[in-house]
Amino acid sequence: MNSKILVTGANGQLGNELRRLCRTFPGLEFIFTDVDMLDITNPDAVSVFMEASKPAIVVNCAAFTHVDKAEDDVKTVRKINSLAPQVLAAACAMENAYLIHISTDYIFDGEKNEPYTEDDEPNPLSVYGSSKLEGEEKIKTVFDDYVIIRTSWMYSEYGSNFLRNIIAKGKENKQIEVVDDQVGSPTYARDLANCIIDIIIKSILNPMAYLPGTYHYSNQGNCSWAEFTEEIFRLKGIDCEVVKVTTDKYPTKAKRPKYSVLNTSKVRESFGIGIPNWRDSLKECISLLNG
């Protein structure tokens, strides 16, 4: 197997973390693309690019990730989150490449009340969740050499995310309301990027170590959005009171699961990786944030 890795959607949170990490692995040759260079919804562009670059592994970080905006633009969302993964899978099958694809906890309805395993029945509540589930299913119709990693509540130093938005709000206000009845596991994009690189290196060194399937990856432990906010403010030294409210007091366009904690045993055991607790990772990310 060669050591060429194609990353799509590389200007986003996860893509940027992979860009940063790749400098530590000069033995791997990365090709980073985003929509301007490779639009994954364009089957011809994807097949030409794949044929010319011949990567061993494709990491698909591209997605339509605005959960509320997705409710108003089903067609675009489906194109990016459902149909494009199938296009990528078909090109991977043609070029004998592996595909590492990222999915979401929002494929679940949140009614379980204990961590979701990979075998639990999905039942998405939103357009975004449905489109991501359809993406998973479409990949599976094309070939078996996929690793689908479902993650949750991702944040990083890059782009627009809950961490950066809530810090800005906390600095502007003395008090803010945050929902306390949605529970999940915040995930530092850097940790997930580390996990992906780990899988890539193990697979390149020994193709038998590439274990196709669906996996759950999030930081360990869980909290509500309000508890997450309290910890962010504590670590950042922001003097803003967090008023805990219920979801019905803070209506959003898209419905979200009230409990979407992921059981991560399978990824830890299959690939022999450790996963940090969300509080430790949040501390690390905040120490790297500017402002």
Active site residues: 128
d(CA 80, CA 63): 6
d(CA 40, CA 46): 6
Number of residues that bind ligand NAP (CB under 6 A): 25
For ligand NAP, the closer CB: 69 or 209: 69
d(CA 235, CA 238): 8
Cβ at position 18, least distance to ligand NAP in Å: 9
Q: Which of 5, 6, 8, 100 binds ligand NAP (CB under 6 A)?
A: 8
For ligand NAP, the closer CB: 209 or 227: 227
Q: What is the dihedral of CA 188, 191, 195, 198, to 10 degrees?
A: 150
Binding to ligand NAP in span 135-164, by CB under 6 A: 151-154, 159
What H or E segment, with its residue span, contains residue 240?
none
Entry field: residues in the chain: 291
d(CA 207, CA 255): 40
For ligand NAP, the closer CB: 33 or 203: 33
| Residues 245 and 178 sit within 8 Å (Cβ to Cβ) | yes
Q: Is 177 in the site for ligand NAP (CB under 6 A)?
A: no
Q: Which of 5, 6, 7, 9 binds ligand NAP (CB under 6 A)?
A: 9
Stretch that binds ligand NAP, among 37-45, 197-205, 221-229, 242-250 (CB under 6 A): 37-45
What H or E segment, with its residue span, contains residue 58?
strand 57-60
Q: Which of 5, 6, 7, 14 binds ligand NAP (CB under 6 A)?
A: 14
Q: What are phi and psi of 11, to 5 degrees?
A: -90, 0
Binding to ligand NAP in span 80-119, by CB under 6 A: 80, 84, 102, 104
Residue type, 7: V
d(CA 266, CA 23): 28
Cβ at position 31, least distance to ligand NAP in Å: 13
Q: Which of 3, 41, 123, 220 binds ligand NAP (CB under 6 A)?
A: 41
d(CA 135, CA 101): 9
Binding to ligand NAP in span 193-232, by CB under 6 A: none
Q: Which of 63, 87, 107, 148 binds ligand NAP (CB under 6 A)?
A: 63
| Residues 153 and 13 sit within 8 Å (Cβ to Cβ) | no
Residue with smallest beta-carbon separation from ligand NAP: 12
Residues that bind ligand NAP (CB under 6 A): 8-9, 11-14, 34-35, 39-41, 61-63, 65, 80, 84, 102, 104, 132, 151-154, 159
